[in-house]
Structure 1
Amino acid sequence: MYEYKFVQTHLGGIFREAKHRETIEQYAAQGWRFKQVLPVNYNQHGKPTDYEIIFERVIQ
């Protein structure tokens, strides 16, 4: 059986620095495995602005 963690982040842009690599490395060090990334918010032009990174790990 697995447990899941959902972490909202952004992948950068003109005024924001991307933090996805640091987030993935941080959770991997805690035993979480990267599963998937999904867009969760969009700007007025339909471009994704925020994402949810999904992690999983085996329940001990």
Structure 2
Amino acid sequence: MYEYKYVETTLGGFFSSATHRELIDEHSKDGWRLVQVLPTHYNGHGKPTKYEIIFERVVQS
């Protein structure tokens, strides 16, 4: 059985930098494995502005 964690992030912008690599590295140290990245919000031009990073790990009994 697996447990899942959902982390919302952005890929940066004009005045901010992306933090997705740091988030993935941070969670992988705790045993989480990257499953998928999904766009969750879009701007008026159809470009994704927010993303959800989905992690999983085996449930320890």
Confirm or deny that 1:38 pairs with 2:1: no
TM-score scaled by structure 2? 0.94
Return 5+ residue gaps in structure 2 as ranges: none
Aligned length: 60
Return 5+ residue gaps in structure 1 as ranges: none
TM-score scaled by structure 1? 0.96
Confirm or deny that 1:12 pairs with 2:48: no
Runs of 4+ with >2 A deviation: none
Code of the residue aligned with 2:2 in structure 1: it is Y
Code of the residue aligned with 2:49 in structure 1: it is T
CA RMSD of aligned residues (A): 0.6
The percentage of counterpart residues that share the same residue type is 65
